[in-house]
Amino acid sequence: MLKPRIELIVALLCALILIWLPLVSAPLKYFETLLHEGSHGLAAILSGGQVVSIALHLDGSGLATSRGGWSWLVTFSGYAGASLWAYTLARIQFSGVSRRIGSWIYFAIVGLFVLGSLIYTRDPITLLIVGFIGVTYWCLFRWRHQHWATFANQVLALFILLQSAISPSYLLYVGDRGDHLAMKGYTGIPGIVWVVLWTLIAGLMIFDLCRRAWAQPRMASDALRAETSGL
């Protein structure tokens, strides 16, 4: 079994390679888009609004339409929420929690977003994409006891988190629309500040994963030393 830091480095390198392979990264980006649009919808519901529709597009973009709720929170939660959920999925994979418990939590989180999207869409393209995501995660859950499935979950969670760090930069090329400009309208704070903030949120979460992976061997060593001294 690989040490936590080596395991994280290998998975992180694989995720980075996948991001730079267009034919592979294009369909994998749907996973990040689902968490992004789902976070918009979840924020709307939690702030007293309602979700009207959720749409995912073949180019990797998406659109969540909501009514009511706190508009600034709904808008902010797209990029921030995708990073948070991806970080949570990655933490489950690298935290040392038992594979059985981790797999159930992982599958429950993804299942929440998949089912939510199915409820709020009638678009055939969105249904096709969500179906692809659902089948992929079901296969990973079905073979969760296999090492390849565990590694695939690790790489996928890190891919989503890395993509969450990259995605805000796309807003700089979309002209007069985007979540950053909506946040500027709500707060008066320039759109570039929100792009940087969303990127930093994802970056800090990646840093925290690395920090925790590096700390685990030292913590285990300290625990062993304490146990030995107590004999």
CA torsion 134→36→116→122, rounded to 10°?
A: -90
pTM score, two decimals?
Answer: 0.88
Q: How far apart are CA 78 and CA 146, in angstroms?
A: 33
pLDDT, tens digit, 9 for 90 and up, residues 10-61:
999 999 999 999 888 999 999 999 999 999 999 999 999 999 999 999 999 9
Instruction: Tell the residue number behind the tokens 């290998």, with chain if given.
Output: 10
Q: How far apart are CA 7 and CA 155, in angstroms?
A: 10
Share of the chain above pLDDT 70, in %: 89
pLDDT for 222 equals 45
pLDDT for 4 equals 67
For 152-158, what is the mean pLDDT?
92
For 157-183, what is the mean pLDDT?
91
Candidate ranges 73-82, 147-156, 208-217; pick with highest mean pLDDT: 73-82
For 197-210, what is the mean pLDDT?
94
> Is the pLDDT score of 208 beyond 70?
yes
pLDDT for 95 equals 72
Query: What does the domain layout of the chain look like in residue ranges?
Result: 4-21+28-213
pLDDT category of residue 111 using cuts at 50, 70 and 90: confident
pLDDT for 15 equals 95
